[in-house]
A and B are shown apart, each in its own frame.
Chain A
Amino acid sequence: MINKNHKYTVFIIALWTLLFSAYCAHAEETAIVIKSQDLSAYNEVVKGFQEECLKNNITIKSIYDLNGKMKLGQKVVRKVKKEKPDIILTIGVLAATVAKDKIGNVPIVFCMVINHERFHLSAPNITGISTEIAIEDQLKGFQSVLGPFKNMGVIYDPSKTGSIITNAEDKIKDAEINLVKYQISSSEEVSEAMKNLIGKIDALWLLPDSTVVTRKSLDLIKSTTLENMIPLLCTSDVFVKAGALAAVSSDYNYVGRQAAGLAGKILELPDLSSLGIVNPDHFKLSINTDTAEKLGLELKVVQEDPKINIYP
């Protein structure tokens, strides 16, 4: 038999629980994800973001997909504004551009934008994670595979990846590596660039530059480097899967997690502000053993490291 006092106690506890839940629900921060298109790399970021948001008490209200179309931006932005999120994660340059142009009063975290400087994404409400791993870490990774090397070639379109080169040059020099640059403005010049670089370089650094890397030119780059026993070093593991020797690249799941971490920090700030653009805090080294074998490289030591991704 429950006496009257117990009833009151139960009632007060229930009421307190209800109020506390309501307070907690209110205190919970909300996020929205806008991805530029439906790509497995982007979905991996979303996955990481979702996992980390759970830990940070951030609720993801919606995930929008622009389907690679800028014109969907306005519609998505309108929906986003209706939902009034506390923070927005954009994945890919399209989503970042749309959000930057149309949303000024909600903090935005962007990621998966190659060479973000090219797209002028800085704003007081924008924080970002660059796709580029710090050049020192890239070189360390490459040297762990190849050992010391002197001359590293690079083909690039200055209008697309020029700033990556500019930012990296001094640090490459500090690592006592000579960067042999070749500028192109059209993918048709890749063949000429390769001819020019052969004989001058010990390795070729392949940047995610759409003038340099096309379906056609990638085959040419792979075959030319293999024929001339030049290791092909990249900034994305997809090229390693496709036959390049090694890549130091970000882990997409970790990028999502890092974005959630940044979101948590931004939401703790008293005012709308930016944490700037940061490098990915996790990266991975990927190696293609078939290619290594063709190049005659001995990889026993690195192969044993469980942190290294081995392809195929």
Chain B
Amino acid sequence: MAKLKLIMSLLIYFMLSNLTHLSAQDEETGLEDMFAIFTEEEIVVSALKRPRSVSKSPAIMSVITSKQIKQMGFRTLVDVLKIVPGFYISMDETGEREIAVRGVLDDASQKIKVLIDGHSINDVWRGGAMWNFDDLPVENIKRIEVIRGPGSALYGQNAFLAVVNIITKDTEDIDGFQVTASGGSFSTQNYNMLFGKEYGDLKVSGFLDYFDTQGFSKKIEQDVLFPAAASRSPGQSQNRKEKTDLNLRLSYNNLEVKAKYMKKRRKDYIGVGDALNEESILRDTYMFTELTYKLSLSEKLNMTSKLYYDQYNYDPFFEQRPDGHLGVYPEGIKGQLRFKQRTIGFENQVNYKLFEGNELTLGLQYEWIHQHDIKYGKNSHPITNANLTTVMDFTHDLPFTRKATRHVYAFFLQDEWNITKDIDLTVGVRHDRFTRFEGTTNPRLGLIWRFIEDAHLKLLLATAFKAPSFQEMFLTNNSVKIGNPSLDPEKINTFEIGLGYHFTKHMRASMNYFYNRIRDKIILDTGSPKQFQNGGGSRIQGIEAEWKADFGNDNYVFANYTFQDAEDTRNRNRLPDVPVHSGNIGINAGLWKYANANLTTLLSGPRPREDGDTRRDIPAQALVNLTLIGKNFLDDFEVRGSVFNLFDKSYYDPAPQDTVPTDYPQQGRSFIIELRYQF
């Protein structure tokens, strides 16, 4: 035994002395320094790899950074999306901002997938994310990547016309605290605290945001009831809103937990049913948590697993018609709705480098979506509309929707192959299987050819789908419209060709053509009540062009232009409410180290009416926003002031035919002042 110990000791001694010798030798020659420099290079290379540049991404893509967001004075997600080519924002009768993409405007922007750090925030009731998150604060956003075009081959349902991926700031970006307070027109106040700290391997970051505003109010000369005696028009629209937003991100080595909580209360702008009202109040709560585990099995093989839980509580009180309506409803028509939706999901993604320049992504996803806790009260009969003396509970007899569960199983596969230094090929496919309708398979093909230095050509082909929302399927006991549980998903085939060129190191431009063909559109039929049906389609083609000249030191000029020709395939009528021509022009001047100025102009051509609407088209408009930033005059302190709609232009968003004849008036000149302190 003693002999064994001696041998072991000698062995360890020799091993250690040899190692020490080697290390000492390296130190002596300076080789250690050289290898340390090599390691440093690798750190930088891996940091520069992400995110992939727009020219290498197999999609037509726009990236907006936190710096641009700050310079342009943007305060919410939709503010940012206004400058994306092909995107157009307008407001509906409830005050919700809806996004039209590539000529298509639909209810709740449900054809756009919105992700926060890869987590989808589209709700299942409407299918879109804008009802809850059109006013998502941008203070904690690092960048927004917008894919203009379909993304179902990777992201599944609702990635139909575009994918908006919001990347939030992490501990490295924040590193401390940032407190922001702002106030301005319409008694608006906003307080935000951003934090990010590292404690060894534990990283904690997040933000708290509180927003309160009276909102702008405009005179509505005629609402849908005008000239009935009960109509509150002429009267004022309302936009009061109060919102709390919390975000938390914790990570420890390979494990990460993300959580979000949002609670919002607001008035509806005109009112559901386009009748001015006083009592409606829309209440929503959205929360999610996601657990992510990243495992690097080898240099070539990486795995990411996600487990997530989402909950959405919808709890509005609607005054659909004011007191005295038709002389039959002395208390008006009022209703209280409620439901909860829960999603539990799991996703596993494996990335495998088959060989140098070729990466395979394999993934599977499962989601369990459940709608429950339904409450329904109304002071009129839901079907006959007969007046009732008080609000009665119809939860059990005539609920507005029903308990429902949806299971989604998905499998996806993608191969990204850097065939030569100048040619990249991406081929992907995803199959989604939903309860209630057959599976849908969506392929994608992307070819990028950097045919000369500084220029690239992209050819993209893809299909995508939009699953019917729960509202489209399960809305029931409603005298106006009802759902259809037999709906199939809406589908789109897309072809895109894009060209990008860096003229000089200061100037770049890109242009792309797209052709979209939508089929099995989910639309309301003409019955009574109207029912959601799959029917008809659309054909949209267009051109998007972008140009930017960046002279460094925050001095840049940019412009973009979109032409979109969108028509119904059956009757060839132009799709309504979206301009054929639109664009943006902006200039940013980093005046000197103490100040920055930004002037952005949002331009829109006339917006056509729907077929049969005899009103003249919504006129063209140009809105100018000005933002000034003062910085560096006090340590860690910054002041930002913005004036929106600088020239106080009157403009309107479209109201459907036979509702508000003069459309929905929009915000005039407004201002906001913001103070920011970082420590």
Complex alpha-carbon distance, A237 and B30, angstroms: 9
In the bound assembly, the distance between CA atoms of A123 and B44 in angstroms comes to 17
For A74, list chain B residues within 8 Å (CB). Answer: 172-175
Determine chain B's interface SS by DSSP, over half rule.
helix
Interface residues of B in 287-342 (CB under 8 A from A): none
Q: Which of B383-391, B456-464, B547-555 contacts A (4 or more CB under 8 A)?
A: B547-555
List of B residues within 8 angstroms of A119 by Cβ: 44, 48
CB contacts (< 8 Å) of A36 on chain B: these are: 40
CA distance A37 to B32 in the complex (A): 12
A40: CB under 8 A from chain B? yes
Measured in the bound complex, the distance between the Cα atoms of B37 and A160 in whole Å is 13
Quick check: is A125 within 8 A (CB to CB) of the other chain?
A: yes
| B36 pairs with A125, CB closer than 8 A | no
Please, which residue of chain B has its CB at the minimum distance from the CB of A242?
B29
Question: Of the candidates A92, A97, A125, A160, which one forms a contact with B48 in the assembled complex, judged by CB atoms under 8 Å apart?
Answer: A97
B39 close to A (CB within 8 Å): yes
CB contacts (< 8 Å) of A242 on chain B: these are: 29, 31
Residues of A within 8 A of B636 (CB): 78, 82
How would residues 35 to 57 of chain B score, 1 for a CB under 8 Å from any chain A CB and 0 otherwise? 11111111110011000000000
Q: Are B554 and A104 in contact (CB under 8 A)?
A: yes
Taking CB atoms and an 8 Å cut-off, the chain B residues in 506-555 that contact chain A are 551-554
Q: How far is the CB of A12 from chain B (nearest CB, A)?
A: 36
B residues near A73, Cβ cutoff 8 Å: 172
**By the criterion CB–CB under 8 Å, are B552 and A104 in contact?**
yes
Bound CA–CA A210/B45 (angstroms): 12
Chain A residues within 8 Å of B28, by CB: 241
Q: How far is the CB of B172 from chain A (nearest CB, A)?
A: 5
Mark out the residues of chain B between 580 and 638 whose CB falls within 8 Å of any chain A CB in the assembled complex.
590, 592-593, 632, 635-636
Contacting pair A75 B551 (CB below 8 A): no
Contacting pair A70 B34 (CB below 8 A): no
| List of A residues within 8 angstroms of B34 by Cβ | 208, 213, 236, 238-239
Which chain A residues border B43 with CB–CB below 8 Å? 68-70, 94
The distance in angstroms between the C-alpha atoms of A272 and B590, with both chains bound, is 12
Residues of A within 8 A of B40 (CB): 36-37, 68, 92-94
Interface hub of B35, B43, B173, B198 (most chain A Cβ within 10 A): B43
| Nearest opposing residue in chain A for B505, CB measure | A122
- How many Å from the CB of B40 to the closest CB on chain A? 5
For B552, the chain A residues whose CB sits under 8 A away are 104, 123-125
Q: Which of B38, B175, B632 contacts A78 (CB 8 A)?
A: B175
Contacts of B175 in A (CB 8 A): 74-75, 78
Query: Is residue A41 contacting chain B, with contact meaning CB distance below 8 A?
Result: yes
B373 part of interface (Cβ distance < 8 Å): no
Closest chain-A Cβ to B43's Cβ sits at a distance in Å of 6
B residues near A185, Cβ cutoff 8 Å: 356
Given A104-B553, A238-B29, A238-B30, CB of A92 within 8 Å of CB of B37: yes
User: Contacts A37-B40, A82-B636 hold; do A71 and B593 have CB atoms under 8 A apart?
Assistant: no
- Whole-angstrom distance between the alpha carbons of A17 and B137 in the complex? 56
B279 close to A (CB within 8 Å):
no
Name 30 interchain pairs, CB-CB below 8 A, sorted by A: A36-B40, A37-B36, A39-B33, A39-B36, A40-B33, A68-B36, A70-B47, A74-B172, A78-B175, A82-B636, A92-B37, A93-B41, A93-B44, A97-B48, A104-B553, A104-B590, A105-B590, A105-B592, A119-B44, A123-B552, A124-B551, A124-B552, A125-B553, A208-B37, A213-B34, A238-B30, A238-B31, A238-B34, A239-B31, A241-B30
Which residues from chain A sit less than 8 Å from chain B, CB to CB?
A: 36-37, 39-41, 68-71, 73-75, 78, 81-82, 84, 92-94, 97, 104-105, 112, 114, 119, 122-125, 160, 185-186, 208, 210, 213, 215, 218, 236-239, 241-242, 272
